[in-house]
Chains A and B, each alone.
Chain A
Amino acid sequence: MSKKIKQIAIYGKGGIGKSTTTSNITAALSEAGYNVMQFGCDPKSDSTNTLRGGTYIPTVLDVLREKTKVDAHEVIYEGFNGIHCVEAGGPAPGVGCAGRGIITAVQFFKQQNIFEELDLDVVLYDVLGDVVCGGFAVPIREGIAEHVFTVSSADFMSIYASNNLFKGISNYSKSGGALLGGVIANSINQSYSKEIVDDFVKRTNTQILEYVPRSVTVTQSELQGKTVIEAAPDSAQADVYRSLAKKIAAHTESKVPTPLEVSELRAWASGWGQHLLELERRNSAPEALAKVSS
């Protein structure tokens, strides 16, 4: 009997730090001794760059385009600490169908039994998280990932994307799809950002797995084409990712979230908007007083 491979999908709005977070989790898991694959499902194909010194790798779809018969080994590249890196790839912006691209690439891998052959412990799918069509939902459907995590900041648009993802999860949960493990709160430096995401997870019946602060170490590492785990292993930020990876490795029970309806979400956002305005007014009042008195 082969061991159970832990398959995890990490979703997040474009630009929210999803690939950075995923690559750091992958690196931390690998460092802890797990045999890991990172599978980028974003047509930009840069999910695994920081695991490979900032370089791009040929994508599954690029190779499938060149020839009709492809061996999965041809599209798996070794990254930091022996991590298996794969990029699904996709069309140039504005043409073709990126969603179908994900379906094609994921099906190709499933058919080849490659995960068992490589004796993987964990597969992480890094997926563009707006779930705009059926293709982007493939990793959360039956038989692919088991647990989904979403990377979100306290930005309204990021939360909106997470809520959309929750809708997809809740939809597919009836047919054996992946369930939600929780939210990875990213770029949380202000106390109110923490409060916003805390409130969102409470209302949607999920949890925060980790609060990841915004950090210049991340930028420095990425500029070197590396993860924080590789470039700054002794930093506090590296420990944050290690702690996150540990929680993900230990995570077993995911749940069906309760996404907010669009009107509820708007009302919720508007409530927070007013609250933040109030906060700003209160904070700026002493400053104004100080100006007058000087």
Chain B
Amino acid sequence: MTKINIENTAVESREQRLGTIVSWYGKASELSEISQYSKGGGCGGGKGRRCTICEASGPFSQASGCTDAMAECQAGNIRDAVLIKHAPLGCSSFQVALNTIYRYGLAMRGHKIENVTVTSTNLREDDMVFGGIDKLRLTVEDVWDRYHPKAIFIGAACATAIIGDDIDSVAIEYGEKLGIPVIPMHCEGFRSKHWSTGFDASQHGILRSIVRKNPEKKQEDLVNVISLWGSDVFTPMLKNLNLRVNYVVDMASVEDLAQTSEAAATVAFCNTLGTYLSEGLEQHYGVPQVRATQPYGIKGTDEWIRALAKLTHREELAEEYIAREHARIEPIIDGLRKQLAGLSGFVATGSAYAHGMMCVLRELGITLKGSQVFHHDPIYDSEDPAQDTLAFLVDNYGDIEDFTVSVRQPYQFYTTLKKVKPDFITIRHNGLAPVASRLGIPSIPLGDEHQAIGYQGVINMGFIILAVMKRQRFHQDLAKHVKSPYSQWWTAQTDANILSKHPELIWDDVSDAGVSAVKRAPQPISEGTG
């Protein structure tokens, strides 16, 4: 197994660790086959962690996200810690959106509702030339005087990473001076083409500096649940096994993060989010992670509960709970299946979470011909096939014809939806929902990402779909009155990935739009679209 290296302050990027890709098209079974843990066989050859998948490429990228923002959304959402962005002010602009999500999340979990506490060193031209370290020192001191936080995160940015500002030294200096963890995060956007490296960057800092190194006690009934801001569905679920929940990272306190080393097990609502922290806790602190698929759909939840019960020695309780829940939900789900019969759906969200969501929809009898997942990890940090969520989906619920991996890219999303023609979509990155509306397709916004978890999650999703389908007419009306933002040429396209195959075609589009046709040589294609 590859070691999670917490000696170094900088985390290894996802593409380097896991071979993550952001662009691919084909069937789910094909992607599973070339990235499957044991089989390997991607076009780059190699097995397991050395397996590389050839990524589709495109002549441009229409949308993306930043590693930095994902590190911020975790480190900046810890209740009694403060995040300092060591960057020009604009790098903190994402905080506007994050603050809203944070407040909603606090409300859903019953915490005191408050704003994020994030500061910026506000670097200027002079700081870029002479270094911004003195400003960082001043900011750390100000943050301490104003907030007395339990921990301080220092987030690098592209600018500070290029000039090589030594945030590590400042972190050491003030960690000693203030007696709290001061954590450098090397989360500069250019380090990775996919934003999920940002999750890893903040979790890396937590593993190095906050998690209690030599816990005096073990809490045999405590389970770390790596999550974002979703509502508290894990507490009632795990209560059936006499287990308590320790939610990390978002909205946790520093103490919640510190005690992760005392827990009996670690689980994650999504492997994309939790892979690094789960593996780090297991390797460095001996806290085992659940080696099973995710708790989505009845079969997935059964396996997940059993694996957790095995780790925490609660097999009997688990079997009782499973039997009870099966008896409770099966009649409801049968009823839902009848009402949902004939509907087809489409999943557009992050990687492992999308796999889970597809399991839920298939259990409800929804036809699923396509999806757009925002990236793909050919392997997770544990390298354990038991966690291979894509194989679980394909092996248990069948293939998905148009399984596209595309880091948002609305133009591809538009064409894939036109081809697949679903009745509804489920989506977590709601900025893309209007693309579906323009085509008359209603969206299920997964703002609360925990809605689909566990046995109740299958029922929840069934009722949500029924509710959303009642609004189908509204979207169909919308579609009649909106104009496609794309040219006639693209509107007529049926292959969302045609530009990956023939990038030179974008020049045909220019002539089609009425501009004099100047044939140019195809431009070099950048690898990936991140």
Contact = CB atoms under 8 A, between A and B. Distances in A.
Interface of A: 67-71, 97, 99-100, 103, 107-108, 110-113, 133-135, 137-138, 141-143, 172, 174-177
Contacts of A133: 163-164
B166 A137 contact: yes
Contacts of B52: 67, 69
Given A68-B527, A141-B169, A172-B169, A99 B16 contact: no
B516 interface: no
A142 B3 contact: no
26 contacts: A68-B16, A68-B527, A69-B52, A70-B16, A71-B50, A100-B161, A100-B162, A103-B164, A110-B7, A110-B8, A110-B10, A111-B11, A133-B164, A134-B163, A135-B164, A137-B166, A138-B164, A141-B166, A141-B168, A141-B169, A143-B168, A172-B166, A175-B168, A175-B169, A175-B170, A176-B169
A137 B166 CA distance: 9
B172 interface: yes
B12 interface: yes
Contacts of B19: 69
A175 B174 CA distance: 10
B88 interface: no
Contacts of B9: 143
B207 to A, nearest CB: 14
Interface string B157-183: 000011111101110110000000000
B5 interface: yes
A257 B50 CA distance: 45
- B5, B15, B162, B527, most chain A CB atoms within 10 A: B162
B131 interface: yes
Interface residue tally on B, bucketed by range? 20 to 34
A111 B8 contact: yes
B164 A175 contact: no
Contacts of A142: 168-169, 172
A142 B15 CA distance: 26
Given A133-B163, A142-B168, A176-B172, A68 B8 contact: no
Interface of B: 3, 5, 7-13, 15-16, 19, 50, 52, 131, 161-166, 168-170, 172-173, 186, 193, 527-528
Given A69-B19, A97-B162, A107 B10 contact: yes
Contacts of A112: 5
A112 B170 CA distance: 25
Nearest to B51: A69
B166 A175 contact: yes
B169 A134 contact: no
Contacts of B168: 141-143, 175
A138 B168 CA distance: 11
B483 to A, nearest CB: 38
Nearest to B192: A68
Contacts of A69: 15-16, 19, 52
A71 B19 CA distance: 12
Nearest to B18: A69
Contacts of B186: 107
Given A100-B164, A135-B164, A68 B193 contact: yes
Given A113-B5, A134-B166, 7 more contacts: A68-B16, A99-B163, A111-B8, A111-B16, A142-B172, A143-B168, A174-B173
Counting chain A CB atoms within 10 Å of each CB, the highest count among B50, B169, B193 belongs to B169
Contacts of B8: 107, 110-111, 143
A109 to B, nearest CB: 10
Given A113-B5, A143-B7, A175-B173, A137 B164 contact: yes
Contact of B3 (A113, A141, A143): A113
A224 to B, nearest CB: 37
B379 to A, nearest CB: 11
Interface centre among B3, B7, B168 (most CB of A within 10 A): B168
